[in-house]
Amino acid sequence: MENKDLEKKYRPWVITASIAIPLVVAALFGIKIEGVDFSFLPPIYATLNGITAIVLILAVVAIKRGNKNLHQRLVQLAILCSLLFLVGYIAYHITSSSTLYGDTNHDGIRSLEEAEAASGSFLIYICLLVSHIVLSILVIPLVLNTYVKGWLGNVESHRKWAKITFPIWLYVAVSGVVVYLMISPFYG
C-alpha cells in the first residue's frame, strides 16, 4: 500500500478523534462528581503543558540536527504529555467548581470591587484563555495529521504540516502555563 493510500486509511481515525475529543471534553464538563478532591491537579497539568513546550522545542532541535529517531520519540512524548494534561484537566474540572478570575476572597463570587481590581489583567487573561481553548481544539487534527504523515514517511508533507502545527501546539502549551499562573492566585 502506498503512503497516500495509508494516509487515506488513517484519515477517518484522525477526523473521528478530532471531533470526538472536544465533544467528549465538552460533555464531561456537564458532569460534577462530588466528594472527590483533585484540587492538587492544576499545577501538575500546567507543568505537563510546560514539559510539552520544552519537548516540542527539543524535537525541532533534534530533527534540525538530523536525529530522526530522537525527534520521533520526543514528539511521541509531547503527545503523551498533552494526553496526560487533558486527563488531569478533565479530572479536575469534573470534580471541582470553576474558579473565577479576580475572586480574591475565594467565595465563588466576583464582587464589583474584585472585578475592578482585576480589570486590567482580566482582559489579558480572557484573550489568552479563549485563544488557548480555540487553538487547543484546532491543534488536535493538526497534530494527528502531522504525526501520521511523519510516521508514514511522507517527509515533505510532514514538514509542511509541521511548520503550521508546531507554532500552534507550542502556543497552546505555553499559553496553558500562563493561564494557570494567572488564575492560580484565585483557587480556593
pLDDT band, residue 118 (cuts 50/70/90): confident
pLDDT band, residue 183 (cuts 50/70/90): very high
The residue type at 171: Y
Q: Is the pLDDT of residue 106 over 90?
A: no
Q: Is the pLDDT of residue 93 over 80?
A: yes
pLDDT band, residue 1 (cuts 50/70/90): low
Model pTM? 0.91
User: Where is average pLDDT lowest: 36-40, 107-111, 134-138?
Assistant: 107-111
The CATH number corresponding to 37-186 among 2.60.40, 3.30.1490, 1.10.4160, 1.20.120 equals 1.20.120
**Chain-wide mean pLDDT for the chain?**
93
Question: Quick one: cell of 36?
Answer: 472527590
Instruction: Give the residue among 185, 159, 163 at the shortest CA–CA distance from 100.
Output: 185
Q: Determine the Cα–Cα distance for residues 158 and 76; give it in Å rounded to an integer.
A: 15
Q: Determine the Cα–Cα distance for residues 53 and 110; give it in Å rounded to an integer.
A: 32
Highest mean pLDDT pick, 25-29, 31-35, 58-62: 58-62
